[in-house]
Structure 1
Amino acid sequence: MVGFDLDLTLVDSRPGVAAVLRELNVRTGASVDVDLVISRLGPPLRVELANWFPTHQVDDAVALYRSLYPQLAVARSPALPGAHEAVAAARADGGVAVVISAKIAPLVQLHLDHLGLTVDAVAGDRFGDGKSQAMADHGVRAYVGDHVADMAAAQAAGALGIGVATGPCTANELRGAGATVVLPGLVDLPGWLIRG
């Protein structure tokens, strides 16, 4: 059983997230620094938006963001190189692939459907301990992610952390957070799975 993060692991969601945030700024009059946000994707949406909206407006901002996301983000967010091959390798010979993401499950599924990525399960709205619990619930033995929090969650779940240096965290940061191995990207994952 192999688990995958979504954003900046399977999907380059930066163009889509940027488009949604720009529209959020227009509609709310907020001053979200779009470039800063997309440079540090990983933590939950609510946590990020709390940096830009007063506490009493965060829930409304999250709801608006999520309502805009399907139309503005999905088509703008390409699969990262090797994503299809990595998922196929995880599912080969009776293997199972699950996506465990901080993004809510319906939005995760929109990306997967749009890109033709077939997985066996999706666990959304998970970060930190929530990702660890989802790994345990699904029997994940190895988790592939781009963020230090992904590697810490894998370690807490007793899973191998496979870091991919395609997101905001460096290879050294991923190793420092507990990654068993760090790969430049998903293109290298099928070969590693065969050897590992």
Structure 2
Amino acid sequence: MAAMTVSPVLTVGFDLDMTLIDSRPGIRAAYLALAERTGTYIDADLVVTRLGPPPETELAHWYPADRVAAMADLYRSLYPEHGVPGASALPGAREAIAAVRAAGGRAIVVTAKHEPNARLQVDHLGLRPDAVVGDLWAEQKARALREHGASVYVGDHIGDVLGARAAGALSVTVPTGPISAEDLRTAGADVVLTDLTEFPAWLTGHLEKADS
């Protein structure tokens, strides 16, 4: 059995794609590279409007079922060259991580992105979270959130709401991805911010309420 991570008073989990980073240009480039490599048409502009789930979900729209797993592996192998350089930090991302640290806590990334690629991505952008856990989607994210003792999980997708709820963590969301603020609320998000620039002030208020 894996050892449980001992958490400080505060651990906040963050999703990666479209929460901390705008990965659309890089993902688009990686899908175009995959299309060129395989000779299969992929509408990469459509792909980047529905980010969130693992690539197998998207690739099922473009390849026969018996080729999806292999195409997902190929996509992941193309991502370091084509995907990583195309991403940028979203407004407030660095400040959100810094706010957690300033409160004496740990900021971790829990993402559906392939973990080696997620690590390359955060290193490339200099985000420096305290831990990166990849290859987890929706309720699967609860495993990492529980292991790290996260009490808050921040994401942009309904899958992130499901992961937070399954872990017993507060679901904080930002409609910076494909899901609207209204749909995030309907899915059960506890908090909907406009974007991560609002996170430091929200965290301050949240911690003050917890201490009162």
Shared fold, TM over 0.5: yes
> Within the alignment, does 1:20 sit opposite 2:30 as a pair?
yes
Amino acid at match of 1:115: L
Amino acid at match of 2:49: S
1:36, distance to aligned residue in structure 2 (A): 1.6
Q: Deviations over 1:35-83 (max 9, x none)?
A: 2211010011112112211122112211211111111111110000111
Matched residue, 1:40: 50
List gaps (5 residues or longer) in structure 2. 1-10, 207-212
What is the alpha-carbon distance in structure 2 between the residues aligned to residue 68 and residue 104 of structure 1?
12
Contact kept in structure 1, 2:139 and 2:159, CA below 8 Å: no
Matched residue, 1:59: 69
Task: Calculate the TM-score normalised by the size of structure 2.
Answer: 0.90
Matched residue, 1:97: 107
What is the alpha-carbon distance in structure 1 between the residues aligned to residue 79 and residue 30 of structure 2?
6
Contact kept in structure 1, 2:133 and 2:144, CA below 8 Å: yes
What is the alpha-carbon distance in structure 1 between the residues aligned to residue 123 and residue 161 of structure 2?
26
Matched residue, 2:40: 30
RMSD: 1.0
What is the alpha-carbon distance in structure 1 between the residues aligned to residue 59 and residue 101 of structure 2?
35
1:130, distance to aligned residue in structure 2 (A): 1.0
How many equivalent residue pairs? Answer: 196
Structure possessing the higher radius of gyration over alpha carbons: 2
Matched residue, 1:168: 178
1:125 pairs, out of 121, 130, 135, with 135
Deviating more after overlay: 74-83 vs 51-60? 51-60
* SS in structure 2 of the partner of residue 140 of structure 1: coil
Q: Deviations over 1:73-124 (max 9, x none)?
A: 1111000011100011112232011100000111111111111111111110
* SS in structure 1 of the partner of residue 16 of structure 2: coil
What is the alpha-carbon distance in structure 2 between the residues aligned to residue 156 and residue 60 of structure 1?
30
Percent of aligned pairs with the same amino acid: 53
What is the alpha-carbon distance in structure 1 between the residues aligned to residue 154 and residue 180 of structure 2?
15
Contact kept in structure 2, 1:149 and 1:177, CA below 8 Å: no
